[in-house]
Amino acid sequence: MAGEKEIIIRTEGLTKKYGEKTAVDHLNLSIFQGEIFGLLGPNGAGKTTITLMLTGLTEPTEGVAYIGGKDCTRDTMEVKKTVGYMPDNVGFYPDMSGRANLRFTAALNGLDKKMAEERIEELLYRVGLAEAGDQKVGTYSRGMRQRLGVADVLMKDPKVIIMDEPTLGIDPEGMRELMLLIRELAQKEKRTILISSHQLYQVQQICDRVGLFVDGRLVACGTIEDLAEQTREDSRCLTEVCVEPADARFMEILRGLDGVYSVGREGRRYMVGFGSDISNKVAEAILHEGYTLISIRPCGNDLDEIYRRYFEKAGHDDGSSGRKVKRFISRNR
């Protein structure tokens, strides 16, 4: 599958050290034309450093990175012409209006005036800031600034878009709109998008492929299904069941079922581990015993589950990072 598509971002042994600390450790990564790739990892995993190296804002200590065949360190100007970068906590000049900020970006990119104005109109409309375009950015809310950031990135009509934590601090509705917009950019306009995030849930909705990072190392890379496959132990499954009333007897009933080898309880939620899929059997048992079934959900195919399982497997040799990741996942649940 990989062979057919054109590789647009490629890194070879990319390494960055800040003094003693290695932020990124020999990263080899290939990203294909037109896909949405998610860089995932806890804070301090080196995601931002990777994005900075790809845009030529930081020099790697070792290794090379190419975007569209151009060296990101040596040919920075050419790379910056085709790559749009949205930093985390994207900032604008607060005393200038949104429109003026975009105009400045257009000027920096050497767009001609008429084209710039047209594009500003179009982009402001597209990110839903058409009415707020003439307000000063200082009055914008965080979500509005983030959307202006997207418009800003699109000003230069980039082939590749790199976004660092684009979902940070936006409300759920804003997040949904942003995700729709990002998906549209990739699918309709064939742009390649690289998103770094620690919010697993949002990212898994739109990413074609993801890479998991811990302490500067890429520990897993592939589609979410691939990763689920890779980390699934002995074809065990985990299902989350919610019933009414939730009591201790229900745990006994679950334990009594064929094929179930573990049952855990967190308030009203029961986590059931079993060898083969027995959702039907569980449902039958619930109804039979006079409980009301509220929800039954297979776990394991979403990203945080993959994450957790991955580090349960890999975390033993490196206790500190394992703990860190567990804490990180429990925060994100």
Structure tokens at 195: 């998103």
Q: Does 209 bind other proteins (CB under 8 A)?
A: no
Site string for other proteins, 58-77 (x = CB under 8 A): x------------------x
* Burial of residue 285 (number of CB atoms within 10 Å: 0-12, 13-18, 19+): middle
Cα distances (angstroms) measured from residue 223 to each of 16, 43, 272, 301: 26, 22, 26, 11
> For other proteins, which residue of 108, 115, 287, 294 counts as binding (CB under 8 A)?
108
Cis peptide before 245 (omega within 30 of 0): yes
In the complex, least distance from residue 158 CB atom to other proteins, rounded to whole angstroms: 10
Q: Does 259 bind other proteins (CB under 8 A)?
A: no
d(CA 164, CA 48): 7
Which 8-37 residues touch other proteins, going by CB under 8 A? 18
Q: Does 104 bind other proteins (CB under 8 A)?
A: yes
In the complex, least distance from residue 17 CB atom to other proteins, rounded to whole angstroms: 12
> For other proteins, which residue of 43, 74, 107, 245 counts as binding (CB under 8 A)?
107
Structure tokens at 84: 């749009």
Pick from 73, 63, 58: nearest CA to 15: 63
d(CA 275, CA 106): 58
Residue for token digits 């297979």?
298
Would you give the DSSP letter of residue 302? Answer: S
- Pick 108 or 180: Cβ nearer other proteins: 108
- Pick 3 or 19: Cβ nearer other proteins: 19
Q: Does 89 bind other proteins (CB under 8 A)?
A: yes
209-214/217-222 β-pairing: antiparallel
Site string for other proteins, 142-171 (x = CB under 8 A): -------x--x---x---------------
Q: Does 264 bind other proteins (CB under 8 A)?
A: no
> For other proteins, which residue of 17, 26, 81, 236 counts as binding (CB under 8 A)?
81
Q: Count residues contacting other proteins (CB under 8 A)?
A: 31
Stretch of 49-57, 192-200, 236-244, 292-300 contacting other proteins, by CB under 8 A: 49-57
In the complex, least distance from residue 138 CB atom to other proteins, rounded to whole angstroms: 10
> For other proteins, which residue of 93, 184, 284, 295 counts as binding (CB under 8 A)?
93
Write out the residues near other proteins by the rule CB under 8 A.
18, 48-49, 52, 55, 57-58, 77, 80-81, 83-87, 89-95, 104-105, 107-110, 149, 152, 156
